[in-house]
Chains A and B, each alone.
Chain A
Amino acid sequence: MRRVDVAVVGAGPAGLCAAAEAARHGCEVALLDENATAGGQLFKQIHKFFGSRAHRAGRRGIDIGAELLDEVAGLGVHVCLGAPVWGLYEGRTLAVAEDDHSWRLAAGAIVLATGATENGLAFPGWTLPGIMGAGCAQTMINVHRVLPGRRVLMVGSGNVGLIVAYQLLQAGAEVAAVVDVLPRVGGYPVHAAKIARAGVPVLTGHTVKEVRGDGVAEEATVWAVDDAFRGLPGSERRIRVDTVALAVGLTPMAELAWLAGCRMGYVPELGGHVPFHDARMATSAPGVFVAGDVSGVEEASSAMEEGRLAGVWAAAAAGKVTEDRAAEAAEPHAAALDGLRGGPYGVHVRRGKQALADGVATAQVQVLGGGGV
């Protein structure tokens, strides 16, 4: 069995930052990812990020990703790609699959940075070819440079829906409309303005009634909803599209946290079941940390700061840095996180994270599990 000071699962923005920070604090670090390339979803983010300059604002995800890869390479992190982690056992031992064999890795501390997965939305016809996650459409156009369809309906006007709708236009697709069941656009006004300037109608208070087609998506019917989100008969509009992209939220991929016996809570503000964690990103399982979307769905900028925090405190848990030194190194990243979550768009996340930090079981937070590795 191999051993490292810190094992990081997931080489997206959170995992890359965690690995870099742990390595910088003297740890031997293994960074594992099931994909053939590192970077997670950063390499499809061709838009400029928000926040202050300290958060790399004004930079595109693709450039930030390249920088982070250089950073971990320069720090001597062992990067294992094509290596899904399929088990987490006592003694902080990971089971890793690679090609046709499997191996074990023991770690002084573990950082889970496994990300999130796109939600579906059930309506008649939702399984037809041409109906896909907005992130899927984004991967196809920005990474593989193939249009998944020519005329797209975007469902959801949060930042993902708005940004991907705009990027579909940049790639040469037509966006027939953006619909959102809520009465207001969910994403940042600057993204909504770009869509509006491009002449794409944004139908708030609308949802998909059904999608029809002969074996593939050909026509979507959208309709207005009432205060209880019930469709209003008579308000139907038919829209010819070959693609429907769903930007209706993400769910944290917390399987390994469950396996680790982390105390879990259901927090709607954070996307579903997430491990309880404190400001150090420590879960209830000793030596097991979380960072990024698996600890509550946000976006890449906060994932990177959480990754830095988790990396520093994992190094402390592995005994490679003192608590005092760790606290000093963590401070700027904690402050940066507060900055990113400030303002009206951070209210939900702040409330969800606070509930987890308090460890309270409210009507909104059902506590599940307990134990620990």
Chain B
Amino acid sequence: MTRRVLDHPILGPASARVPVTISFAGEPLEAFGGEPVAAALAAAGVRVFRRTSKRGEPRQLFCGIGRCTDCVMVVDGQPNVRTCVTPVREGMKVEVQDGRGVWERPRGDSGASRPSGVSPEDWAARSGAGQ
């Protein structure tokens, strides 16, 4: 049974929307264009969006309107994205966030601030996890 509310006594039938395919944890996942990532995942029955940094406890949704940051995930390589207010896009890559997450590439980093002797990979890992 789908978790989509297809028909509704007040709101009527769901309007037709453009299907898009995103990936979640490396697997394709069907979504509707314009809906938030969190809605697409909840519709697919995904219940763990991230794990906390100290105890690795699972988290999913709390406020659903972009206030609380409980639902942050790694989206297209960028961690801490509020999935409840981020619309899906075709080809978007969504992953469960572990702790504070790791930036695949430090934002705005041209490499200039990377100390010599530190590889770009190590720098990227440090920049994400060491804050």
Of all chain A residues, the one with the shortest Cβ separation from B87 is A36
Whole-angstrom distance between the alpha carbons of A148 and B59 in the complex? 14
Assess whether B36 is in contact with A144, with CB atoms less than 8 Å apart: yes
Interface residues on chain B, number (Cβ under 8 Å): 32
Which label, helix, strand, loop or mixed, suits the secondary structure of the B interface? loop
CB distance from B94 to the nearest CB of A (A): 15
Select A146's contact among B5, B48, B58, beta carbons within 8 Å.
B5
Which label, helix, strand, loop or mixed, suits the secondary structure of the A interface? loop
Interface status of A159 (Cβ within 8 A of chain B):
no
Select B61's contact among A148, A150, A171, beta carbons within 8 Å.
A148
The size class of the interface chain A forms with chain B is 35 or more
Assess whether A147 is in contact with B3, with CB atoms less than 8 Å apart: yes
Assess whether B48 is in contact with A117, with CB atoms less than 8 Å apart: no
Of the candidate stretches A67-75, A122-130, A193-201, the one touching chain B is A122-130
CB contacts (< 8 Å) of A170 on chain B: these are 8-10
Assess whether B61 is in contact with A145, with CB atoms less than 8 Å apart: no
Interface status of B57 (Cβ within 8 A of chain A):
yes
CB distance from B68 to the nearest CB of A (A): 8
Interface hub of B48, B58, B65 (most chain A Cβ within 10 A):
B65
Interface status of A219 (Cβ within 8 A of chain B):
no
Assess whether B42 is in contact with A146, with CB atoms less than 8 Å apart: yes
Select A136's contact among B11, B58, B59, B62, beta carbons within 8 Å.
B62
Assess whether B42 is in contact with A140, with CB atoms less than 8 Å apart: yes
CB distance from B20 to the nearest CB of A (A): 15
Interface status of A337 (Cβ within 8 A of chain B):
no
Assess whether A147 is in contact with B5, with CB atoms less than 8 Å apart: yes
Whole-angstrom distance between the alpha carbons of A216 and B59 in the complex? 9
Assess whether B8 is in contact with A171, with CB atoms less than 8 Å apart: yes
Assess whether A136 is in contact with B10, with CB atoms less than 8 Å apart: no
Assess whether B59 is in contact with A146, with CB atoms less than 8 Å apart: no
Assess whether B62 is in contact with A144, with CB atoms less than 8 Å apart: no
Assess whether B3 is in contact with A146, with CB atoms less than 8 Å apart: yes
Known A120-B62, A136-B63; further 4 A-B contacts with Cβ < 8 A: A118-B62, A139-B64, A146-B39, A216-B47
Interface residues of A (CB under 8 A from B): 34-36, 41, 46, 60, 117-118, 120, 127-133, 135-137, 139-142, 144-148, 150, 170-172, 215-216, 253
Interface residues of B (CB under 8 A from A): 3-6, 8-11, 14, 35-36, 39, 42-43, 47-49, 57-68, 84-85, 87
